[in-house]
Amino acid sequence: MIDDADVVGHYDKADLYSQILAGLGQEGLIQPTPQDLSAVDEFHIGGVEATRFVSEALAPPAAGRLLDIGCGIGGPARFIAAKTGCDVTGIDLTKSFVETGNHLSRLVGLDGQVTLQTGNALALPFAENEFDAAYMIHVGMNIAEKTRLIGEAARVIRPSGRFVIYDVMQMQDRALTYPLPWAENETASAVSSPAVYLDAMKKAGLVFTPPQNKHDFALQFFDRMAKKGAGKQPPALGLHLVMGVTTPQKIQNIHHQIKQGILAPVIITASHKLVS
């Protein structure tokens, strides 16, 4: 079992909002749009493109109510709210992320659609069937209790709703090299195989489509990132604001282990009934 304090300690950035504001100023973005924030608030492999395919897999109803489990600073929540017209509630352990995300939603005029709050994915403070759909993006790598995690998600979505997971998963039973974007060492890491997720879904009464391994997509993403940043200083606005001073090593380690086939980002779409 992973201590919540270790997870929060890994992500907590007390001055993150001020750093993002400074970065926006350096980029000349005085009145930013949600798209302008994507360099820093899409904290997962594939960035906004990955959020787009998560949104498409969700297939939410018009004006639906969605839950973002492990919302971070709210990039995917803002993207999906703007794209679909849905209201998105986000929940995350890290208070500074939630506060930063709510400031950013106000900054880009989406605070009426996107609300983030501090809370635990293993004990969601919501009623049964409260949401039309739910998703989590790069969250399960910090949560060992997959059965409880997925059971909670299944509890709060309506029978017709979908639950979409886009996580980094372990494809080979080999020791991982740290630091990685979600953990400085194995103490706060709970990377699991797709089989573990599927077993948890079955226990929660969910059915699912076959997992989609996004290995090639990930390598293309990292190749583009490397070419864009070759020989340059970090941009004013980028993921280093979230990941800290070990950002280059974290990116190098995950890129290398995806190349080796040890890790891969995987998307799974599930529902209380067969997903068409």
Supply φ then ψ for residue 265, to 5 degrees. -75, 135
What is the per-residue pLDDT for 230?
62
The torsion defined by the Cα of 197, 152, 185 and 170, in degrees rounded to 10, comes to 10
Whether residue 93 lies inside any domain: the answer is yes
Structural domain total, the chain:
1
SS3 percent helix, strand, coil of the chain, rounded to 5, is 45, 15, 40
What is the per-residue pLDDT for 235?
86
pLDDT at residue 273 greater than cutoff 90: no
| Cα-based distances in Å from 176 to 52, 139, 256, 269 | 29, 17, 11, 26
**How confident is residue 16, by pLDDT bands cut at 50, 70 and 90?**
very high
pLDDT at residue 276 greater than cutoff 60: no
Whether residue 237 lies inside any domain: the answer is yes
Supply φ then ψ for residue 259, to 5 degrees. -55, -40
What is the per-residue pLDDT for 274?
63
Write down the mean pLDDT value for the chain: 95
Say which residue the tokens 């049964």 belong to. Answer: 128
**How confident is residue 261, by pLDDT bands cut at 50, 70 and 90?**
very high
Whether residue 65 lies inside any domain: the answer is yes
The span from the CA of 105 to the CA of 80, in Å, is 12
pLDDT at residue 229 greater than cutoff 80: no
What is the per-residue pLDDT for 226?
86
Any idea what the CATH number is for the domain that residue 232 is in?
3.40.50.150
What is the per-residue pLDDT for 178?
98
Mean pLDDT, range 118-147, rounded to an integer:
98
The span from the CA of 99 to the CA of 114, in Å, is 12
pLDDT at residue 37 greater than cutoff 60: yes
The span from the CA of 62 to the CA of 237, in Å, is 33
CA quadruple 116, 118, 124, 127: dihedral sign: negative
pLDDT at residue 257 greater than cutoff 90: yes
Whether residue 276 lies inside any domain: the answer is no
User: What percent of the chain is predicted at pLDDT more than 70?
Assistant: 98
pLDDT, tens digit (0-9, with 9 covering 90-100), for 195-227: 999 999 999 999 999 999 999 999 999 999 888
pLDDT at residue 259 greater than cutoff 80: yes
What is the per-residue pLDDT for 83?
95
Neighbour tally for 145: CB within 10 Å: 16
What is the per-residue pLDDT for 234?
80
User: E strand or H helix at 163, and its extent?
Assistant: strand 162-170
User: What percent of the chain is predicted at pLDDT more than 90?
Assistant: 91
Least confidently predicted of 175-179, 223-227, 267-271: 223-227
Neighbour tally for 52: CB within 10 Å: 15
Structural domain span for residue 172: 4-271
SS3 214: coil
Query: Is the whole-model pTM more than 0.85?
Result: yes
pLDDT at residue 30 greater than cutoff 90: no
Residue pair 268/209 in contact (Cβ under 8 Å)? The answer is yes
| Cα-based distances in Å from 97 to 15, 106, 192, 223 | 10, 14, 25, 28
Angle, CA of 152, 157 and 158, to the nearest 5°: 140
CA-nearest of 101, 96, 141 to 121 is 141
What is the per-residue pLDDT for 1?
78
**How confident is residue 151, by pLDDT bands cut at 50, 70 and 90?**
very high
The span from the CA of 38 to the CA of 56, in Å, is 18
